[in-house]
Amino acid sequence: MAISAGAAGITGVDELVIAGDEAEQLGQAHAGRRRWSWRSVRVWRFVILIIAAAYFLIPLWAAFRYSVWTGEGRGWTGTAYTQLVHSQGFGPAFWLSVQLALITTGLTLALMVPTTIYVHLRLPRLRRLMDFVTVLPIVIPPVVLILGVLEVAPARLKATPFLLALIYVVLAMPFSYISLSAGLRAMDLHTLVDASRSLGGGWWTTLRRVLLPNMRVAVLSATVLTVALVLGEYTMASLDQYQTFSVWIVAFEQDNSHVSVAASLLSLFVTWVVLMGISFFGRVRRGAGGAR
């Protein structure tokens, strides 16, 4: 009986060893599949990145090459960019677009930040309705919108180009609301507000010192989208007969297409500079807040 018990014990040990070996092999197989899966995902990410970069950079390179290539024996030259700065109407048109961008951004944030916070805090059931209402300016054609505004706007308001800023606020509303709403959904809004109120903070203090610092990324995204919209809008400005930067580019193309393409690249470069500046400002403020 002792011999049979010992044999049984040896058999049990062998079974445990075999089971351990099989488990190890299965683990290695799963690890190999996992590594292969991650490798395939990384390869596809790299491929998608290359395709996206080619889609955006090739047209930009073609536009830049056209703006610096004269084809008259002089080869590569930066004459278009030097002429751009000294071209008639460039300064006033660019400054008007900058003013409209600043006014539009200020009005949009002043209207949409409190509205978005109130909807998410007090009226959560109206989120779907707000998502639908804020998309309506995209559905309405710009021609119809500007003609309707010019028909009902007071004469004193139509005599100033800043009427465009009010219309741009309507156009920027979908983009700003989506950005701000995404930022609010990413944080625990009710907990932050209740904590601030329990510590004696008023609504203005809660907004300024609690909510806005946590919404910094969302506010910066809405700002960038609004500025890009104003700098690139053409239809409404042309129908309102004001020469913004985009209208000046189209009007100048009739005389010198090289300078017009250079101006288009300049507007894109300005938008990128604004984007990088706002991103850098957000990182600096975030780092300063963490240091405190």
| pLDDT tens string 206-247 | 888 888 888 888 888 888 889 888 888 888 888 888 888 888
DSSP assignment letter at 148: H
In three-state secondary structure terms, 136 is helix
Indicate if the pLDDT at residue 7 is higher than 50. Answer: no
| pLDDT tens string 123-138 | 888 888 888 888 888 8
Please give the pLDDT value at position 271.
Answer: 73
Long-range interactions of 18-25: CB distance < 8 A, separation 24+: none
pTM as predicted? 0.72
Spans of all domains in the chain: 28-77, 86-291
Q: State the virtual CA torsion across 248, 250, 255, 256 in degrees, nearest 10.
A: 100
Indicate if the pLDDT at residue 69 is higher than 80. Answer: no
Q: Identify the band that residue 103 occupies on the pLDDT scale cut at 50, 70 and 90.
A: very high
Q: Identify the band that residue 5 occupies on the pLDDT scale cut at 50, 70 and 90.
A: very low
Q: How far apart are CA 97 and CA 244, in angstroms?
A: 5
Q: What share of the chain is helix, strand, coil (3-state, %, to 5)?
A: 85, 0, 15
Q: How far apart are CA 162 and CA 158, in angstroms?
A: 8
Question: Closest by alpha carbon to 263, among 95, 92, 85, 88?
Answer: 85
Instruction: Tell me the pLDDT of the chain averaged across its residues.
Output: 78
Indicate if the pLDDT at residue 27 is higher than 70. Answer: no
Instruction: Confirm or reject CATH 1.10.3720.10 for domain 86-291, answering yes or no.
Output: yes
Point out the least confidently predicted range of 8-17, 38-47, 129-138, 233-242.
Answer: 8-17
